[in-house]
Amino acid sequence: MPIYKAPVEDTLFVLYDVLKMDGYGNLPGFADAPRDLVEAVLGEGARICEEVIQPLNVVGDTVGCKRNDDGSVTTPPGFKEAYKQYREGGWMALSFDPAYGGQGLPLTLNAAIGEYLSSSNLAWGMYPGLTQGAMAALYVHANDEIKQTYLPKMATGEWTGTMNLTEPHCGTDLGLLRSKAVPNGDGSYSITGQKIFISAGEHDMSDNIVHLVLARIEGAPAGTKGISLFVVPKFLPKADGTAGERNPLSCGKIEEKMGIHGNSTCVMNYDGAKGWLVGEANKGLNAMFVMMNEARMSVGIQGLSQSEAAYQNAVAYAKDRLQGRSLSGPKAPDKPADPIIVHPDVRRTLMTIRAINEAGRALMLWTALQADISHRSEDAAEKQKAEDHMGLMTPIVKGVLTDLGFDNAVKAQQMYGGHGYINEWGMGQFVRDARITMIYEGANGIQALDLVGRKLGANGGRAIMTFFNEVGTFCAQNKDDAALGPMIGALSKGLKDLQAATMWFMQNAMAKPDNAGAGSTPYMHLFGLVAMGYMWARMARTAQEKLAEGADERMTAKLATARFFFEQLMPESGAHLARVTAGADSMMALPAEAF
């Protein structure tokens, strides 16, 4: 059985030592969350994840969700009971507006616990995760009546939420969507159409399921400008607020898929189901984007989560499995062989995963903190800067942490040799579950295009210039430090490569847009590398400061891991730059028929 222990100490290191979260007492919710409360919440979140939710991970994979003949869906054994504990613990609305039953704590805290939750059980975590995304969209775009009807029930977790975008013929290109909405004359609409890949679309864990559905109002323009967002509940709310009459919508099928078997991925059929408009007509994509940005951050965290869970297991195995002798002489001469953690190539793998996880965690929490600032600050300049940061970093957190998270799960599985390939040790599940994170909420190629095509140039490049300045200033301030110097040198080189790649796009993508598309994926990874490098540089400086106060093995390990990152992972930046600046020609030279 796989193990998992939530990295609470590391979360606290990032939040308080690196990001100085205790300096944000001016933000609503932060003053109510002093460090001791945060520690208690993280500790309790860790406990429920480790003790209640993680033990259901394997059974979720092996038993999966079952659609019954009446269209209802039975979740794996234990899922429902764990959900009851989770929602009764108030976890669903930890950071949500108290006006609707939330606890108003920082989003950053919710993100930290989101990592533990997904590490424990990715498929399970999607049920509350999608609900939180739906709540965010309703909160920003729905009218008061809808908010009052749905949000308090969702905040307690009695009702869960979903997002319904994809149709068989349209995924990325939502302009093609065909689901129809016909006004009923009473302010409601009748929704008809088929949606696919609807995570948590039908299940037995909550009293009601609140579907957010993209559809086209009869007579609306074609393309993306004719799409509206509707709230379409499984049961129509009664006047007393409880779930009433069944709405004509149903799960037609559960998809058989590679992983996340514990989550019901449904084909949803809407057969004239009653729904209400969320936000303005024909502006559904804007409303959905709120949900999608939340969701993209969450998916990035999921990528990190699988990498972390797989890492912890690989470490335990590498310390335990005896095979071969160290190249530098036996390390466990009393045993028939040394534990494989003595082998440098095993170390390379473990250090790689570790270096990415710790930097990924810092990057994710840094970005979550910007979400708090952007939502809660009353300082316009601070707010704008935080929004810029989030816009820029969302595709990176999503695209880079999931690509690397999957790679790392594969690497961790590799540590087990043949034992990693059989189900017994559970390593294959991390790989199969992590795989979806590269795909959903916008496949990673789309994240890269969003970054290059939309985020880089937004507001005259304001966001990226701010990032360049911040990293450049940090490098300038620390380059002469004896210990940090070599790391700063590597980071500066990476930054220079990133700036050169950015400049290349400015000069070559306008006249020939294919150049932007061609370089987008290596650019996103180059950006991710520099962003993680910046996190490592900041963590290394912090570690050094703490070491100056006294010996601390954890801080020594931070410095060693930082060094590994800069020596072994950062050199990739030059290759990425070369890929970007080679341009589109070699990719586009062949006619489609030549493939």
Q: 372 or 407, CB closer to a copy of itself? A: 407
Region binding a copy of itself by CB under 8 A among candidate stretches 76-84, 208-216, 394-402, 578-586: 578-586
Q: 35 or 419, CB closer to a copy of itself? A: 419
How crowded is residue 190: how many other Cβ atoms within 10 Å of its Cβ? 19
Which residues are 266's β-sheet partners? Answer: 198, 254
Strands (E), 38-104: 66-67, 73-74
Question: Of 180, 343, 496, 546, which one interacts with a copy of itself (CB under 8 A)?
Answer: 343
How crowded is residue 553: how many other Cβ atoms within 10 Å of its Cβ? 7
2 near 57, Cβ under 8 Å? yes
Min dist CB 489 to a copy of itself, Å, is 13
Question: Of 309, 412, 448, 532, which one interacts with a copy of itself (CB under 8 A)?
Answer: 448
Q: Binding string to a copy of itself for residues 245 to 264, with x set by CB under 8 A, is what?
A: ----------xxxxx-----
Q: 46 or 562, CB closer to a copy of itself? A: 562
C-alpha distances out from residue 286 to 138, 143, 282, 293, Å? 12, 15, 9, 11
State the amino acid at position 51 in one-letter form.
E
589 binds a copy of itself (CB under 8 A): yes
- Enumerate residues 68-127 that contact a copy of itself by CB under 8 A: none
- Residue 211 sits at φ, ψ, to 5 deg, of -90, 130
Region binding a copy of itself by CB under 8 A among candidate stretches 51-59, 97-105, 468-476, 583-591: 583-591
List the Cα angle 355/356/357 in 5-degree steps.
95
Total count of residues recorded for the chain: 595
In three-state secondary structure terms, 229 is strand
- Enumerate residues 183-212 that contact a copy of itself by CB under 8 A: 196-197
State the amino acid at position 124 in one-letter form.
W
How crowded is residue 350: how many other Cβ atoms within 10 Å of its Cβ? 18
587 binds a copy of itself (CB under 8 A): yes
Choosing from 441, 545, 553, 593, the catalytic residue is 441
Can you say whether residue 559 is alpha, beta or left, with left for phi > 0 and alpha for psi between -120 and 50 degrees? Answer: alpha
Min dist CB 228 to a copy of itself, Å, is 20
3 binds a copy of itself (CB under 8 A): no
421 binds a copy of itself (CB under 8 A): yes
Complete DSSP assignment for 312-363:
HHHHHHHHH-B-S--TTS-S-TTSSS-BGGGSHHHHHHHHHHHHHHHHHHHH
280 part of the active site? no
505 binds a copy of itself (CB under 8 A): no
350 binds a copy of itself (CB under 8 A): yes
Region binding a copy of itself by CB under 8 A among candidate stretches 98-106, 119-127, 208-216, 585-593: 585-593
How crowded is residue 68: how many other Cβ atoms within 10 Å of its Cβ? 11
318 binds a copy of itself (CB under 8 A): yes
378 binds a copy of itself (CB under 8 A): no
- Enumerate residues 351-370 that contact a copy of itself by CB under 8 A: 351, 354
Task: Count residues binding a copy of itself (CB under 8 A).
Answer: 98
568 binds a copy of itself (CB under 8 A): yes
- Residue 47 sits at φ, ψ, to 5 deg, of -65, -50
436 binds a copy of itself (CB under 8 A): yes
Catalytic residue list = 441
